[in-house]
Amino acid sequence: EAEVAQSPRYKITEKSQAVAFWCDPISGHATLYWYRQILGQGPELLVQFQDESVVDDSQLPKDRFSAERLKGVDSTLKIQPAELGDSAMYLCASSFTGGNSPLHFGNGTRLTVT
């Protein structure tokens, strides 16, 4: 079964440094999502792409976070500068376009900011 690929699996960085996460969605999935999951809580949407366009980034802290999906396939999420409160699991998901389509999640990147 096709999977959403994410890398790295784990990342440790010092505060004020820059960090980037990569996601490759399931082939054919036009919609891509980035979620942040703080330990013990449910995932919260950061940004949604339809092909290469941003559909929803209302919860993305744009002063330090950026996301791109230049060719409408893989995507990068960047944090600069990282803060202690950014420590979390960052999950990427993809789906076919349409309200009934389920999201398929990658295994995530566990970020620790020291």
Stretch that binds another protein, among 20-28, 35-43, 66-74, 78-86 (CB under 8 A): 35-43
Among 17, 41, 80, 112, which residue interacts with another protein (rule: CB under 8 A)? 41
**Binding string to another protein for residues 58 to 77, with x set by CB under 8 A, is what?**
x-------------------
Residue 55 binds another protein (CB under 8 A)? yes
Q: Are strands 109-113 and 10-13 parallel, antiparallel or unpaired?
A: parallel
Residue 4 binds another protein (CB under 8 A)? yes
Q: How far from the centroid of its chain's Cα atoms is residue 97's Cα?
A: 18
Size of the site for another protein (CB under 8 A): 28
Among 15, 56, 85, 112, which residue interacts with another protein (rule: CB under 8 A)? 56
Residue 28 binds another protein (CB under 8 A)? no
Looking at residue 51, its amino acid is D
Q: 3-class DSSP state for residue 86? A: helix
Peptide bond into 81 cis (omega under 30): yes
Q: What is the DSSP string of 32-77?
A: EEEEEE-TTS--EEEEEEETTEEEE-TTS-TTTEEEE-TTSSSEEE
Residues at the site binding another protein, with contacts judged by CB under 8 A: 4, 6, 31, 33, 35, 40-45, 48, 50, 55-56, 58, 91, 93, 99-100, 102-108, 110
